[in-house]
Each structure stands twice: as C-alpha cells, then as structure tokens.
C-alpha cells in the first residue's frame, strides 16, 4: 500500500480514524474527510509521525455541491485516488418506526446512503478511466436483519450492501474491486451519537462484553485492500467472539 492514495470519509473518529492511522503506517498517502476541521488538523498533525502526505477535505457528505467542489479543488497530483473508503455514517435514536423523528431520519439516510452514492459517483469514474481502483464501503451487520428500534438505520445498511453488490456487477468488466465490510459491535463514539451524547446509555451497550475496536476493523479493511489484484474480497462480516448475530450476544 506504499504511496497508494486513499480517500477516507468520516476520518475524524472511530473506524475512519483507525483506517487513517493504519494506512498511514503502511505508507499510503491520505485524503481525509470530516466535518470537524479542528479534529482533521489534529489527526493530520498526529500522522506526521508516519512521514506520509495528508490532504484535508473538510465537508459534510450530505452536501452534494460542496462534495463536488471539494473534489474538483484537488491538485492534479491528488486526483488519482486508488482506494475510496466510504466510512461516513451514523445513527440517531432508538425510536420505533412509527414514532421516529423525520428530520433525524433525513440526516441518517442522507449520510449513510446518499453521501456514499455521491462519493461513489464522483470518484469511481476516474478509477474506471485509469483502469485501477478499490471501493471499500463500511456497512454493518445491521444490514442483514432488522432489530428493534433500528429499522431506518438497518435499512440504510441494507442499502449499502445492495449498492456494493450492484457496483460490483457494474464494474465486473473492469479491474476495479468493491468490498463491503460489515462490522458487528464496535466500541467507538457510534453509540454516543445514537443516544445523543448520553455516555451512560452508550456504555451500557458494551457492558459485559469485549467488543471490537476501530483498529480491528481497520485491520480487516487493510487486508481487503492489500490482497493481490486478482483477489476481490467482496464482503466480510466481522463480529466479536461473544456475538453471533445482530441481536444475539453473550454478556458476562
């Protein structure tokens, strides 16, 4: 992965941040996206230890016009993206489908689905033209089976699976690869966001278990990206040992 150019959305925390550190450690050049400029700059500063170039693109993936402007602003040397990691995503609340907040659902759908689509539509044509590239989408075990209080989020991650599969079909006559990584329980700020900043509720999600970490998922992402060119890791479901399905886990 040395000198490969990797674009990571949602790079300022969780899985995205772990992916940034992993690929930087392996010598990749990085384009990092996030909404929080200060966090992006802090991460860029920390990655200086790896002596790799890092370009920052602060924008919200929900804003298609801003996304396009940001990508169009890249200098020529930063336009040939080798790996796109569509990581930006979130969930808000645990409301029942008939009781949820429509505005919050807009945020979740626009980020998890439409944001991913915008990045794919704007980056992948260049990969096709160059005859090389890898799209890695961060899905979820939640995309396999719905669970109580999560129907909209589950629907967005089911969409990520369908979009990954469909893109793989569309690109089958090219050298490009498409991977869908589906984590189970990963302890990041994901649950803090879901519970609107309630740390106590977030901690309860992982009580009595040893969850995955962002670094665990970054290792899987890197494995998929570093496979030989003729090997396409189409889909990976990765869960902690104590978790069997999206709703079945063993707590000590």
Task: Give the catalytic positions in this structure.
Answer: 153
Per the structure, the count of domains in the chain is 1
Residue 44 is assigned to a structural domain of this protein: yes
Residue 245 is assigned to a structural domain of this protein: no
Q: According to the model, what pLDDT value does residue 27 have?
A: 98
Q: According to the model, what pLDDT value does residue 209 have?
A: 96
Per the prediction, the chain carries an average pLDDT of: 97
Which ranges in the chain belong to alpha helices (H)? 14-25, 37-47, 64-72, 102-109, 116-130, 151-170, 190-194, 199-205, 214-226
CATH number at residue 106: 3.40.50.720
- Give residue-wise pLDDT tens across range 126-178: 999 999 999 999 999 999 999 999 999 999 999 999 999 999 999 999 999 99
Q: According to the model, what pLDDT value does residue 74 have?
A: 98
- Which residues constitute the domain of residue 172? 5-238
Distance (Å, whole) CA 176 – CA 180: 14
Provide the β-strand partners of residue 137. Answer: 86, 180
Q: According to the model, what pLDDT value does residue 38 have?
A: 98
Q: pLDDT grade, residue 1 (50/70/90)?
A: confident
- Give residue-wise pLDDT tens across range 84-124: 999 999 999 999 999 999 999 999 999 999 999 999 999 99
pLDDT score of 237 more than 90: yes
Angle among Cα 47, 84, 105 to the nearest 5 degrees reads 100
Residue 246 is assigned to a structural domain of this protein: no
Residue 204 is assigned to a structural domain of this protein: yes
Q: According to the model, what pLDDT value does residue 129 have?
A: 98
**Please, what is the end-to-end C-alpha distance for the chain in angstroms?**
39
Residue 249 is assigned to a structural domain of this protein: no
Residue 196 is assigned to a structural domain of this protein: yes
């Amino acid at each position: 992965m040395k000198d490969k150019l990797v674009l990571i959305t949602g790079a300022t925390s969780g899985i995205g941040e772990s992916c940034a550190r992993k690929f930087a450690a392996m010598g990749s050049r990085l384009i990092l996206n996030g909404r929080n400029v200060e966090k992006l700059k802090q991460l860029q500063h920390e990655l200086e230890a790896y002596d790799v170039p890092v370009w920052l693109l602060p924008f919200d993936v929900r804003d298609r016009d801003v996304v396009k402007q940001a990508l169009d602003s890249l200098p020529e040397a930063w336009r040939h993206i080798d790996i796109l990691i569509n990581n930006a995503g979130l969930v808000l609340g645990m409301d029942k489908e008939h009781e949820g907040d429509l505005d919050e659902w807009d945020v979740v759908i626009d980020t998890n689905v439409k944001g991913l689509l915008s990045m794919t539509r704007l980056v992948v044509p260049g990969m096709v033209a160059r005859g090389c590239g890898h799209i890695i989408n961060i899905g979820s075990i939640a995309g396999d089976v719905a669970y109580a209080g999560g129907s909209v989020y589950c629907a967005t991650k089911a969409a990520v699976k369908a979009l990954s599969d469909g893109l793989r079909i569309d690109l089958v006559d090219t050298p490009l690869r498409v991977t869908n990584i589906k984590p189970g329980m990963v302890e990041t700020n994901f649950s803090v966001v879901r519970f609107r900043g309630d740390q106590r509720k977030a901690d309860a999600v992982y009580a009595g278990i040893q969850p995955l970490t962002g670094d665990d998922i970054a290792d899987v992402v890197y494995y998929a990206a570093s496979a030989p060119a003729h090997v396409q890791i189409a889909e990976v479901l990765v869960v902690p040992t104590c978790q069997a399905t999206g709703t079945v886990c063993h707590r000590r």
